[in-house]
Every structure is written in C-alpha cells, then in structure tokens.
C-alpha cells in the first residue's frame, strides 16, 4: 500500500454556476413578519416558556446562545436569526462548517445545496471553485487581523472581498519577527499566494445577497458568531486551496470566543437547534474549561442556565428531566440529549421542526 498522502492539488474544480443547486434563497427564505406555523400544546407552551427565560436572561445581562446546524440555513432560517440578533435577543451564535458554507453560497450566488449521491458518483461533490477559494481567502486574510472563522467570513462578505499584502511585505514581517504570534499566519498566506498564484492587491467578489447572510449581519451587528468545523468534514476540503492550518487557527479562536460566552451564561439560555453532534460536543468541553478556571479562582461553576434542545428526531421517548437512561436503553446514545442533560442547569428537549420553533419563538419575543 502507498504511504504517500493523497495530492489534493490534483482535484479539478468547477465554476459554481455549473452546479445544479437544489435550494434558491428567494424560494426558501422565511420572513419573521410572516404568519408563523401553528403548533399544538404542549410544544406551544414550551416555546412560550423559552421566550420568558430569554427575556429574563437579557434583563440580567446573561448570555443567550443559539447553536445551530446547517439545515437551519438550508431551510430558510437566515432572516429569523438576523431578526433575533437585531432585536437583541441573541448574544452569541455558533454553527458548524456546513452552516457557514451554505450561508456564504447564498450570500454570493443566492443558491446552495447539491445532490450528494449524484455528485459523489461523478467526482464533483463539493468541488466548486468559488466556495473553496473565497472561504479560504477569508480565513487566510482574517488571520492577519487575529480574527476567528466567523468574524473573518463576515468581514469578507461585508467588504465584498479582501486585500492581499505583497509577498515582499509578508517576507519582511516574517524575517523581522519569527516569534511574532502572526508569523505562522503570514507564512501560510505567503505560501498560498505562491502555490496558487494569488496576486497582491484587492480580490473583489460581489455578494449580492449579503443582507440575508447571517455571518455578515452578525459582523455588522457586533454579535459573535463562531464556527466549529472538522478537518475534512466540509466541502472546502475538496478544493486545491484546502488549508488545515488556516481552518484550525480560525476555529481555535472561535472556540475561545465560545468560552467567553459560556463564562457569562449564569442565569442565561442555550438554544441548540438542529445540532446533533457539534453543539453538544463543543459545549461540554467549553463549559468544563470555564468551570475549571472558576474553581481555581474559588468561584462557583456555571449555573442557573436553561438549555433548550430542539430537533425533529424523537428524544428516545425518555423523560430527560427525571434522569439519564441506562446504557441498555437506545435513548442513552442520543448525543444531542445526553450531553446537554449533563451540563448543569435545566435541559428541556423539544421535538420540533427548526423553522417552526424559531418562527414561533420570534413571535413570542415580539
């Protein structure tokens, strides 16, 4: 067997315009002012209770985090998220790599989503030039400003591109300060410019739909939006510009920003909407770090918070408010319930469509 790593620079990418996209922003976008879907009790009562907890949290200045999966963007929830930010109800957003990819594609082209089955068979799943190229440019240039993943992409969309410094200026900065915290980021950008023949100066790309772009509007509103990707999870890994160090550097910064939000969570609210793996996994590590430092400082651990976990799947037909199921029960292996149930505070599982939940929540918060 060959021990030589696979050469991703050999991957042939195609223009995004050639892809048969399955979702159009103009067709899926849900406007907050539209009539919200009806829902039965007790779900409606749970959503009202959630709204009350959010109002109480904001009155005391506590964090209200909304952690979401990519389907919330694919299902047209961007305007709902933006509306919640504009009204001041949400203080921190977090998503996975796919969530930011769909958000960027909608901002750039007004379309997103492809047939995985069909395109994998043809070797073109995710191999779309603009998506991989511009998200990497956003991360590589944002790193020079010590920005995380979300802030870098948000700034890139708002500015319709970025300015690359000259190779000479990067070389001089690297030579002058080899131990400078930005040296690695400068070297990564310099190498990318050389390898992919990227000229210095402005790289402009029009984002015609930035008003409906969650990451851009979060940047405009100064609401932290953190991105928590996996290396090799997302379609930008199929691009010749794939750069694990740039992704990891940006994700590290965002994990630290996530921790800052958890530090202010006492009496606050966590909304985990359609995030079966990323949300609970990142949250449990982050709150453990915060509690670790608090205990060193003789401070109490994070408490008084409410966690609302929303997913369309059944919660294992288990009452998570009573106790954790035994390992012999299939419900024990539902990560999106089990992890959050262990995180202190009070956890409530709501089986609901993500758009229905957010739209009804918006109405209750009006």
Average pLDDT score, the chain? 96
- Torsion over CA of 292, 293, 298 and 300, rounded to 10 degrees? -60
The β-bridge partners of 23 are 112
Residue 13 to residues 60, 91, 130, 219, 239, Cα–Cα distance (Å): 50, 38, 9, 30, 7
pTM of the model: 0.96
What would the mean pLDDT of 251-276 be, rounded to a whole number? 97
89 and 54 Cβ atoms separated by less than 8 Å: yes
Half-sphere exposure of 266 (CA within 13 A, CB side): 10
- Torsion over CA of 36, 37, 42 and 46, rounded to 10 degrees? -40
What would the mean pLDDT of 321-325 be, rounded to a whole number? 86
Confidence class of residue 318 from pLDDT cuts 50, 70 and 90? confident
Determine what percent of the chain is predicted with pLDDT higher than 90.
93
The alpha carbon of residue 24 and the mean position of all alpha carbons in its chain are separated, in whole angstroms, by: 20
CATH architecture of structural domain 37-91+264-366: 3-Layer(aba) Sandwich (3.40)
Confidence class of residue 366 from pLDDT cuts 50, 70 and 90? confident
């Amino acid at each position: 067997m060959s021990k030589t790593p696979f050469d991703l620079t050999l991957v042939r990418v195609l223009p995004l315009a050639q892809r048969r996209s399955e979702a159009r922003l103009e067709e899926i976008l849900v406007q907050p002012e539209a009539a919200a879907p009806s829902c039965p009790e007790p779900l409606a009562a749970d959503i009202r209770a959630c709204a009350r907890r959010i109002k109480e949290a904001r009155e005391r200045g506590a964090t209200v985090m909304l952690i979401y999966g990519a389907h919330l963007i694919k299902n047209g929830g961007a305007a709902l998220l933006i509306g919640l930010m504009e009204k001041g109800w949400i203080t921190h957003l977090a998503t996975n790599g796919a969530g930011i990819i769909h958000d960027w594609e909608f901002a750039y082209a007004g379309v997103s989503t492809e047939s995985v089955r069909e395109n994998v068979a043809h070797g073109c799943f995710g191999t779309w030039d603009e998506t991989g190229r511009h998200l990497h440019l956003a991360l590589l240039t944002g790193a020079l400003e010590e920005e995380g993943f979300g802030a870098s992409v948000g700034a890139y969309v708002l500015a319709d591109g970025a300015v690359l410094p000259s190779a000479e200026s990067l070389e001089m900065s690297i030579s002058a300060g080899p131990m400078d915290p930005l040296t690695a980021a400068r070297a990564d950008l310099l190498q990318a410019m050389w390898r992919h023949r990227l000229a210095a100066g402005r790289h402009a790309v029009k984002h015609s739909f930035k008003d409906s772009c969650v990451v851009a509007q979060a940047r405009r509103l100064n609401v932290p939006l953190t991105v928590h990707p996996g290396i090799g999870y997302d379609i930008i890994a199929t691009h010749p510009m794939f750069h694990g160090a740039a992704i990891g550097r940006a994700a590290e910064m965002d994990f630290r920003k996530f921790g800052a939000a958890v530090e202010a969570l006492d009496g606050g609210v966590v909304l985990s909407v359609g995030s079966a793996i990323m949300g609970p996994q990142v949250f449990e590590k982050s709150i453990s770090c915060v509690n670790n430092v608090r205990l060193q400082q003789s401070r109490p651990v994070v408490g008084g918070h409410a966690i609302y976990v929303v997913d369309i799947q059944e919660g294992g037909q288990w009452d998570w408010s009573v106790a954790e199921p035994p390992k012999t029960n299939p419900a024990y292996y539902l990560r999106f319930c089990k992890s959050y149930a262990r995180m202190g505070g009070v956890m409530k599982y709501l089986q609901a469509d993500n758009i229905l939940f957010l739209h009804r929540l918006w109405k209750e918060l009006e």
